A and B are shown apart, each in its own frame.
Chain A
């Protein structure tokens, strides 16, 4: 069985996918991420990120969402 490790979405490599396990931070942030379809159990794929801690673009299902670097750091994903 392959080992699973948990990292934040901001640490995903472009093209790498992970399954969301937890969203840290307050209710407000969780609500907004949920509304964009980012919630525990969902598979997210990083499309790209801007340099110097710029926004991170994630693909969730059929859509792409750009989120700030700090917020991406609150999304804990599990990668193989």
Chain B
């Protein structure tokens, strides 16, 4: 048996999915959090049934890609749990009407039930059941209220199989039902609603956006640096270093295995960034240097997502984003890209046109360094002075905008106007925020750690075989001639295919000037997606789109790297 969770965007499908299946998925407070579908299973009596979290859709009339997916998946389901936002009954019921016309049993979950009370909404559930002819169960997925009831009543369901109606007939039916079952009491604005209005008005909105972004940046830096300085570095220096030194001695301070595991000794010492051993640099980069920033970034992003701030930022920036052929909602994938390009590129599916998806994904790959790369840039370039870090990020922002301007002119197709629902602000639950943070941080360790260890392993082998010396010879005209970097920097560029954080770390032993570090960081960020991003780009843009995107990256890198070299 297969159960589908179907509902409008941002009604809490993912939260409910986690409740019934125990499978953890990312849930946020903005429409379009779930772009692919997620499978899980739950117990129904003694039977294990499959549960699918279908991307949110307003209608089964396929007008966008997400709706098409939902409509198609419906054909393979045995039962639908139709999740409604109880505070938005009218709009949500249209989809219910469409579902009732399909030949599939439906049970209705009136989610966000806890929100109806303080919003002055009264719903007569018994009457609603009678009118719809299917079970209706009030739920609150974030707290777990009503979930047991919902599961218990799944066995009662049947399909009313109403006759097919026209759009206007359905809306008329929705209007009648809402009129009968819902009463709204007038009440005064809460402070959250005042804040809601202020953050979408032009002047107060921009002031709030500037404040939110500045505070976020400050907190991320504070937490990230704090964790590195007071937790991770002491752990590595005081506990791990003595162990590694003993291992180094045991292996005779040199030789193949020593260099693989511990790495090269620098002035007789292990240097966690420069030694390039699997057990030293291979562990320090992901856990010591990058994880603290991943943790800080996703904590703040999770809060912004769950409060419901991001769609407001999209509206504020819409005008500006139109200049580069996008609309405001593209800011959401872009912000996700500051964490990791993989989920960011996948989330470009919330954009409707192919052109928007291509431009957004390409801009993310070129000019938005992931949290891991950012952590290394801050660590390495920041040691030379903050003005250089500002130069790196300033350059990338300019590149993002100029490449966007050019792509808007060159890429054919259309970019539709924005039309999005602005969700109400919600006070995030700590449980929700922390469980999302845990998923993302542990996801980073699970996915990035093996690649980083592998990358360092491969680098050591290629070094030992002298491969890099051979490559350095014929890449010198570009690396030294155009970018003004030493020939050996080609190692970093090659490793950039695997992991950007390791690649940036490889600049450390080259004793570069501050200017060269800026050029190197910018070039490594821009020139090519890492292997993980490459795979998703291929999946989302197809081969032709991927090749075009990479072409843009290479050309832009050559021009920007060359110009920076001339200026610095």
Contacts and interface: CB of A to CB of B under 8 A. Distances in A.
Contacts of A69: 417
Contacts of B200: 47-48, 57, 64, 66
Given A62-B119, A63-B421, A65-B421, A34 B88 contact: no
A58 to B, nearest CB: 10
A33 interface: yes
B91 A32 contact: no
Contact of B91 (A35, A54, A68, A71): A35
A64 B167 CA distance: 22
Task: Give chain A's interface secondary structure class.
Answer: mixed
Interface of B: 58-59, 61, 63, 87-88, 90-91, 94, 119, 121, 167, 171, 184, 196-197, 200-202, 205, 311, 314-316, 318-319, 327-328, 416-422, 424
A31 B318 contact: no
B418 A67 contact: yes
Contacts, number: 98
Interface string A55-80: 10100011111111111000000000
Given A28-B63, A34-B171, A39-B171, A67 B419 contact: yes
Contacts of B314: 66
A14 B201 contact: yes
Contacts of B421: 36, 63-65
Contact of A66 (B87, B196, B202, B311): B311
A48 B422 contact: no
A32 B124 CA distance: 29
A55 B331 CA distance: 15
Given A47-B200, A50-B202, A63 B419 contact: no
B319 A66 contact: no
B63 A66 contact: no
A52 B217 CA distance: 28
B319 A33 contact: no
Contact of B422 (A35, A53, A57): A57
Contacts of A52: 319
B171 A71 contact: no
Interface in A8-50: 14, 28, 31-37, 39, 47-50
B88 A62 contact: yes
A66 B419 contact: yes
A71 B87 contact: no
